[in-house]
Amino acid sequence: MKKALIFGISSLMMIFLLSSCETTQTPNVSSGGDLAVSGINSQVKGFSIDGFHGGGAKMDDNENLENMKNIVSIVKPIIAKVPDGYAMQIKGHCADYDSAAKKKSVSTARAKKVYDELKNAGADESKMSYKGVSFDEPLAGVDGKDPRQRRVSFEAVKK
């Protein structure tokens, strides 16, 4: 599983790097508007940070912490391209356990943890927001109690 995760992250990083080097014309994401946001969302669609302990926003495993740092380093320059009137929403998710209040609290704490990592890395706070979505946006085809539901994802949204 760890090898698959490392391979997946490496593949995403390679795709990102190669797509930034292609010679075909791509939308200018700094021009603003829905086209820019669509391009940004297609770039971050596959990015998620997982490895959170059940019931909290803590990560102990070095591999999971490294994964978070890698994703942060990839997402930070994308946030810089978010046009005015939009923000990169950092969404915390959780597995289907406990009460609704606990799910909201845990998912918000996970989103804030990644938000703080991005802020500490120098990402523009005015172009970011965070939100806990509880178990309202589960991974399709994955059991609700599966640890993969404990994650943080990204989406550019209107402010």
All domains of the chain in start order, with CATH: 2-158 (3.30.1330.60)
Q: What is the CA radius of gyration of the chain?
A: 16
Say what the pTM is: 0.78
- Stated as kind and residue range, the H or E segment containing 50 is strand 48-50
Sign of CA dihedral 79, 81, 85, 86: negative
The pLDDT tens digits of the residues spanning 61-116 come to 888 989 999 999 999 999 999 999 999 999 999 999 889 999 999 999 999 999 99
pLDDT at position 103, please?
Answer: 96
How many residues are listed for the chain in this entry? 159
Rounded Cα distance between 143 and 96, Å, is: 9
Alpha carbons 88 and 90: distance in angstroms, whole number: 6
Q: Are 48 and 151 in contact (CB under 8 A)?
A: yes
At 21, the pLDDT band (50, 70, 90 cuts) reads: very low
What is the Cβ-side half-sphere exposure of residue 91, based on CA atoms within 13 angstroms?
Answer: 21
Residue 18 confidence (pLDDT) above 50 = no
Tally Cβ neighbours within 10 Å of residue 30: 10
Q: Which of 43, 22, 19, 40 is nearest to 30 (CA)?
A: 40
Residue 68 neighbours by CB distance under 10 Å: 19
On average, the pLDDT of the chain sits at 84
